[in-house]
Amino acid sequence: MERIYFNNCLTSQPAREVIEIITAYMKDKYYFPENFISKGTEASNNLDNAKKIIADSMGADAKEIHFTSGGTAANNLAIKGYLTANSNKGTHIICSVIDYPDILTNAAFFENSGFDVTYLQNDNEGFIDLEQLKDSIRKDTILFMTTMGNHTVGTIQPIKEIRDILDSAKQKIVMHVDACEAYARIPIDVNELGIDLMSISAHKIHGPQGIGALYQRKGIVLGQIQHGVNRMDNLQTGGMNIASIAGFAKAVELAFNDLDANIAKIRKLSDYLLNKIESTIPDTLLNGPRGIKRISHNINISFDYIEGEAIMMMMDINGVSISTGSACASQGLKPNYVMMAIGRNHEQSHSSMKFTLSRYNTFQEIDYTVEKLAEVVKELRSRSPLCN
Amino acid sequence: MQYSQKVLDHFMKPHNIGKLENPDVEATEGSPACGDQISIFLKINYETHIIEDIKFQSYGCASNIATGSIITDMAMGKTIEEAKNITWKGAAEELDGLPAVKMHCSVLAVDTLKKAIKKYEIEHGLAKAETFSKKTIIEELKKVIYPGVGEDIVTLKMVKYVGLENGVATIDVEIPKFDTHRDNVVEEIKEHLEAFDEIKEIKVTI
């Protein structure tokens, strides 16, 4: 049996059509945009077209899209770019304790540089505390950042409600959203939701690795954070990953060709997986919300009495890739901070397993996975002093 | 970073797994909160002091299970004096090595075995309970592994000062501020020392 892959939040399998277009670009269409000469003009048109495809997927204008080397680069461009160019307006930032590390490490960086940061708390399903948000807004608040779909427990933050709260301030508070997990898994319209800056990543939606994009609302000023030769604009200096950009656009086309059907398919698979685990294996606990307030591809579940790295390793030996929030699987040997922030104890964090699905998964794969998982959990529980 | 085949073999099919009925002695170390816990059960011949049977239970990761398995193999049939010579480095070598970040699993397994033997010796008049002193703290700190290189913090000369006065243990450790293992080492020190009733307060300065 081929490897069964449930780590799509880490990276996903590139679509066949994506590989084909990247290959074609690398062979015959590798040119950089240049004025007047035929190949340069063609390259320029192709880039514009790729931007348009991505812009259309989120209700934006092509001019509002910048390509980056990935989600982290997009987050850095948004946060560092905005704060360096706008610190004269204020020096207070708001984010939450369960945000993706890109946001938290940038917040810490600016905290060390003299900014004030409010870290919002959350409830036990991972929704940020909106009352605390209301109370945290100050005259000098200039930026709110959030992870649209939580990378660990899948919680979809109420972006529209957050926008309304931010708009109650007298000054403009810019909202930056890391949508790398949520993009193509829930419908996102930047205008309906009032998003000002948004990061997305290709390799999480069956596109190539090493390419992402930042949506920058017209009128929002970003400072330059990477200086160098200006080939597209001053926010995207240096050479361009032409083939990967084409692959990214293809991945977006495939995902958004029938977004509702794609989301419905993945949600059906995820629901099937969750139901099957809960009905087959005793003493489990779902982490994060149940139903539509959760990103369609994420199931995070704790298994009492046993430790997650052991589950992960045994499932790996059985040909199934899943991940764990256990400290033992982390380099820092610390329990997962999101799990702790949603009120789980150390044991529940150590035993949490994350499945992130894709449209390429099948019901048969899930049947096999849960069958093996039930065996693995039973075996490890038989060895555990906590249930014997 | 990956596990050796031997670690995976012992993880998938651990030797001597389970509980002994009516053991002569048992010991449990670690805790679920830390992510790893081992219980060891021993049957010891009173006349010969030979370990005639040994079993273990594990709540922990693959290397926790594999080190439990290997040390029970190493101790089976040995006298308790011989078993006391089993070291965490020796156990790791028997497994064809462990990733540096996993060396603490070997320390936990060997420490649990030694605790069980010590308990047996005290219960059978073969040894006296040690008087608690600064030396006890230093010995305990030798069980705190720096995950970056898989060596203990005393051997690595990271411990600069150990003090004990009126139940207050003061430990000075040298770890650079940018070191990602800094918090983990401090937590490990506290977890190890909290097990001693004689210590009322732990002050770790870095």
Residue B168 tokens, joined: 């207050």
Please check whether the two domains, A16-256 and A259-382, share a CATH topology.
no
Give the CATH superfamily of A259-382.
Aspartate Aminotransferase, domain 1 (3.90.1150.10)
For residue A340, the chain B residue with the least C-alpha distance is B33
| Interface confidence (ipTM) of the complex | 0.84
- Asked whether the CA dihedral A328, B17, B8, A299 is positive or negative, the reply is negative
User: Contact B153/B171 with Cβ under 8 angstroms?
Assistant: no
Cα gap A184→A255, rounded to integer Å: 6
A94 touches A133 (CB < 8 A): yes
Report whether pLDDT(B178) > 80: no
Q: Which of A17-21, A226-230, A284-288 has the lowest mean pLDDT?
A: A226-230
Quote the CA–CA distance of A109 and A97 in Å, as a whole number.
Answer: 15
User: How many beta-carbon contacts under 8 Å exist across A and B?
Assistant: 82
Name every residue whose Cβ is closer than 8 Å to that of residue A268 and which is 6 or more positions away in sequence. Answer: none
Residue A264 structure tokens: 């419905």
Contact B101 A327 (CB under 8 A): no
Place of tokens 């989301």: A263
Which residues in chain A have their CB less than 8 angstroms from residue B3's CB? 313
The residue that leads in pLDDT, B164 or A277, is A277
Could you confirm whether A328 is annotated as catalytic? yes
Instruction: Using the predicted structure, report yes or no on whether residue A273 has a pLDDT greater than 80.
Output: yes
Q: Quote the pLDDT of residue B205.
A: 87
Is the pLDDT higher at A232 or at B146?
A: B146
The single residue of B25, B74, B83, B105 carrying the catalytic annotation is: B105
Q: Find all residues with CB under 8 Å of B180, minimum gap 6, and list them.
A: A331, A332
B28 close to A (CB below 8 A): yes
For residues A328 and A335, give the distance between their C-alpha atoms in angstroms, rounded to a whole number: 8
Domain spans in chain B, listed from the N-terminal domain onward: 5-123, 134-205
pLDDT tens readout for residues B102-137: 998 999 999 999 999 999 999 999 988 888 888 889
The rounded distance, in Å, linking the Cα atoms of A36 and A38 is 6
Out of 3.90.1010.10, 3.40.50.300, 3.40.50.261, 3.20.20.80, the CATH code matching B5-123 is: 3.90.1010.10
Among candidate residues B99, B87, B72, B86, the one with its CA nearest the CA of residue B8: B99
Enumerate the domain spans of chain A: 16-256, 259-382
Tell me the pLDDT tens digit for each residue of A180-218: 999 999 999 999 999 999 999 999 999 999 999 999 999
Q: Is A332's Cβ below 8 Å from some Cβ in B?
A: yes
Q: Could you tell me how far CA A226 lies from the centroid of its own chain?
A: 23
Q: CA torsion angle for A305, A307, A310, A313 (degrees, to 10)? A: 120
Least Cα distance to B35 among B196, B203, B184 occurs for: B184
Of B11, B12, B57, the CB nearest to A388: B57
A386 vs B32: CB contact, 8 Å cut-off?
yes
User: Is pLDDT at A332 greater than 70 in this prediction?
Assistant: no
Question: What local confidence, expressed as pLDDT, does residue B157 receive?
Answer: 86
Residue type present at position B96? D
Provide the 8-state DSSP code for A125: T
Per the listing, tokens 């909202």 go with A175
CA distance A346 to B34: 7
Beta-bridge mates of residue A214: A66, A199
Q: What is the CA radius of gyration of chain B?
A: 17
Write the residue in A306, A317, A333 that is nearest to B101 by C-beta: A333
Q: Which residues on neighbouring strands pair with residue B39, listed in sequence order?
A: B28, B57
Per residue in B65-84, pLDDT tens? 999 999 999 999 999 999 99
Residue A267: pLDDT over 90: yes
Residue A339 in contact with partner chain B when CB distance is under 8 A: no
Q: How much is the mean pLDDT over chain A?
A: 94
User: Torsion angle of alpha carbons A346, A348, A351, A356, nearest 10°?
Assistant: -120
The mean pLDDT value of chain B amounts to 91
* pLDDT computed for residue A328 by the predictor: 73
Catalytic residue chosen out of the listed positions B17, B20, B34, B156 = B34
Record: fold of A16-256: Aspartate Aminotransferase; domain 2 (3.40.640)
pLDDT band at residue B143 under the 50/70/90 scheme: confident
Burial string for A275-302 (b: 16+ CB within 10 Å, else e) reads: ebbeeebeebebbbbeeeebbbbbbbbb
- Residue labelled with tokens 């190539």: A208
pLDDT tens digits, A81-114: 999 999 999 999 999 999 999 999 999 999 999 9
CB distance B151 to B183 below 8 Å: no
Whether residue B16 is predicted with pLDDT greater than 80 in this model: the reply is: yes
Set of chain A residues whose Cβ sits within 8 Å of the Cβ of B69: none
B137, amino acid identity: I
Tell me the percentage of chain A whose pLDDT exceeds 70.
99
Lowest mean pLDDT among A18-22, A318-322, B103-107: B103-107
Cα separation of B94 and A13, whole Å? 38
Q: In percent, how much of chain A has pLDDT > 90?
A: 86
Residue A159 has pLDDT above 70, yes or no: yes
Cβ atoms B128, B153 nearer than 8 A: no
How far apart, in whole angstroms, are the C-alpha atoms of residue B162 and residue B204?
Answer: 10
List B44's β-bridge partners, or say none. Answer: B51
- Do the chains contact at B11 and A329, CB–CB below 8 Å? no
Tokens representing residue A151 in the block: 């990378």
Kind of pairing between the strands at A212-216 and A298-303: unpaired
pLDDT value of position B134? 87
* SS3 assignment, position A308: helix
B134-205 CATH fold? GMP Synthetase; Chain A, domain 3 (3.30.300)
pLDDT reported for residue A331: 63
Q: CB distance from A352 to chain B under 8 Å?
A: no
Listed in sequence order, the residues at least 6 apart from A39 whose beta carbon sits closer than 8 Å to its beta carbon are A31
Backbone CA torsion sign across A244, A249, A255, A257: negative
Tokens of A1: 């049996």
Catalytic residue check, B61: no
What is the distance in angstroms between the Cα of B47 and the nearest Cα belonging to chain A? Answer: 30
pLDDT band for position A333 (50/70/90)? low
Question: Using one digit for the tens of pLDDT, what is the confidence trace for A35-90?
Answer: 778 888 888 899 999 999 999 999 999 999 999 999 999 999 999 999 999 999 99
Which residue of B36, B65, B102 is in closest CB contact with A383? B65
Assess B39–A contact: CB distance below 8 Å, yes or no. Answer: yes
